Each structure stands twice: as C-alpha cells, then as structure tokens.
Amino acid sequence: MLDRIPTGGPPYLYDLVSDYPSRIGKGLRPALCLATCGALGGNQREVLNSAVAVELFHNAFLIHDDIQDESLSRRGADTLYRQHGVGIAVNIGNATNLLALQCILGNRSMLGPQASWLIVQETESMMRQSLEGQAIELGWIRDNVCDLRPRDYLEMCLKKTSWYSFIYPLRIGATVAEGVQSPNRFCRFGWYLGAAFQIQDDILNLIGKYRKYGKEIGGDLREGKRTLILIHLFNKCSAKEGRSLRGILAKPGSERTSSELEWMYDRIVQYECIEFAKRAARQLAGAAFLEALTAFRGTPDSEYKRFILETALFVISRDR
C-alpha cells in the first residue's frame, strides 16, 4: 500500500497521505478481499490492486470521519486534523480517496476492460452507500434523534460500516476471481459481520484500553453517537432519565461536562446496556458465520476459506 503513495509533490500532500496507513491497523478489510479471491481460486497478484484500494478507501474514510466526529486520537496518536488543521486534513482525505480510485482504475491493464469495469461499478455503489450511511449518522446527532430502534441502527451499520468494510471487499475479491459480477450471496454475511464489528467497536470505545484500541475512550459518548448501547439505554431508562439524556445530547459535544458523561456512563451500567450490546454482537457474529457457510458452501476447503469463516469470531473477540 505504501508503495502506491507517491513520494515528492508539494508538502502537506503525499507525505501526509502516508500517515494513517503507516500507523498499524488491523488490515482486516484488504485481508478479506485477498482471502475471498483466493478461496474462489483467483490469483493473489491480480487482486492486490483492489485490496490496496480497499484499505486506502478505509483510510480516506477515517481521515474525514475523524473531522466529522471531532475525534481526538486514531491508532494511538492525534488525529490528522488535530495535527495539521481541518483544511489540510480534508485535502488529504480527498487525495487518499483519489489514490484508491487510481488503484481501481489501474485494474484495467491486469483484468481487462470487462472485469475492471464491474469493479468500478462496485466502487461507485460502495461510495454511495458509505456517504448515505454517514449522512444518516450525522443527521441523527444534528437533529438529536432519540427514538431510534435497533433496526434503525442495523440499517445505518449496513450503509456506514458493512458495505465498504465487508460487502465491498468480498464482492470485488469474488469478481477478480470469477471475472463476472459478484452474486449477491455475500451481502448478508458482510452486513451481519459489519454490524457485529461496529457493535464491538462501540463497546471498545466505552470499556477498551486506549493503548490497544487507539481511540480516546468514551469518545462516542462525548460525540453523542447513536450506538446500539445508547439506543438501548433510551429504550430502558425511565421517562425522567430519558428527558435528562435528551437534554445532555441536545448540546454540542464539546459542551458536555465530564459529570454529564459520567452520569450517562452510570446509567449505561445500571441498565446493562453493554451486556445487551455484547449479546447482540454475538448473535450477529453467529448469523454471519452461518451466512458465510452458505455463501462459500460449494467452495473447497482452504486456508483462505478458513480465514474468512474465522473473521466472524474475530470481530467480536478483538480488543483493538
């Protein structure tokens, strides 16, 4: 991936594009893309471009997402916009997106015009889903929406997290292997896997260790993010507590006091919201595992296939 980032050019561009990719991430998304292609008999060399694109799109998403959420830290260091200002960080996010797109366009010489065009179309869909998911989440915060149900959360996850992180890598890995449009058999697996992944992320954000998780603990509470945990709290707490919660969330995140955040956290403990989220994540991971078995039913056993199946367990047992 780092090889695809140009050196040279003006300062505050490619030098900073390589910042997030140089911080150690899980690499789960490109790994799934490579493994899907491998499990289906495809060539690892032919899918490399697409796997790099997957991880670059992810990094671009993180750079802009950190601005949007006013996050303080990412992968154990200050977020890019805090280091270099919002203006430069917006540009770096755009440049990272462009590099990802270049990888996708670069598929043409290796895969030929037809398969590469299918992947371009998959990329376009993925970008649209992600933008819509991001809009849903930002809109909930902006409008202080407090009457959400778990199904709203799962739909938001599908668009914001699952599509670009799991459905897209699975689908384009398959297209590289098979040369045809990916059938829809990966969608449920990717959706449930992404939802379990996101719920685990919400849990780690509350009770994880900064040294492993790399983002500031409790950031979601400060940002007023509509996690499954918060949604469950709204559904379980008393009417009076609900009004207090709504009032706290009505303010901009930067104005929430630490005693307010503590009060929120105590209510989350009181109503066992983290346990609820853990249960939901386990159920979704189980559902994802079953869907993976179905999606790869006719696929011969391989290290690749086993890796894919194991991601269902990984996403809920991870601590980073």
Q: What is the DSSP letter of 1?
A: -
Q: How far is the CB of 106 from its own copies (least distance, A)?
A: 10
CB of 161 to its own copies, least distance (A): 15
d(CA 35, CA 186): 13
Instruction: Kindly tell me which of 251 and 279 has the beta carbon lying closer to its own copies.
Output: 251
In the complex, the smallest distance separating the C-beta of residue 160 from its own copies, rounded to whole angstroms, is 11
Under a CB-based contact definition with an 8 Å cutoff, are residues 225 and 199 in contact? no
Q: In angstroms, what is the minimal distance from the CB of 98 to its own copies?
A: 5
Neighbours of 27 (CB within 10 A): 14
Q: Under a CB-based contact definition with an 8 Å cutoff, are residues 315 and 308 in contact?
A: no
Tell me which residues touch its own copies (CB under 8 A).
9-13, 64, 67-70, 84-88, 90-91, 93-95, 97-98, 101-102, 105, 108, 113, 117, 120-121, 124, 127-128, 131-132, 134-136, 138-139, 142-143
Taking the C-alpha atoms of residue 159 and residue 127, their distance in angstroms, rounded to an integer, is: 10
Residue 132 or 241 having the CB closest to its own copies: 132
With a CB cutoff of 8 Å and minimum separation 6, the contacts of 156 are: 133, 136, 137, 140, 226
Residue among 60, 62, 53 nearest 123 (CA):
53
Tokens, residue 3 = 């090889």
Task: State the amino acid at position 178 in one-letter form.
Answer: E
Residue in the structure block whose two tokens are 């694109």? 53
Complex with its own copies: residue 86 or 180, whichever CB lies closer: 86
Instruction: For residue 304, give the H/E element and its range.
Output: helix 303-317
**C-alpha distance from residue 51 to each of 34, 42, 58, 163 (Å):** 6, 13, 11, 15
Closest distance to its own copies from the beta carbon of 113 (Å): 6
Q: By C-beta, is 35 or 136 nearer to its own copies? A: 136
Nearer to its own copies, 44 or 125 (CB): 125
Nearest distance in Å: CB 88, its own copies: 5
Closer CB to its own copies, 101 or 217, in the complex: 101
Q: 127 or 309: whose CB is closer to its own copies?
A: 127
Those residues whose C-beta lies under 8 Å from the C-beta of residue 225, and which sit 6 or more positions away, are 69, 137, 141, 202
The least distance separating its own copies from the CB of residue 302, rounded to whole angstroms, comes to 34
Q: Which residues are bridge partners to 78 per DSSP?
A: 73
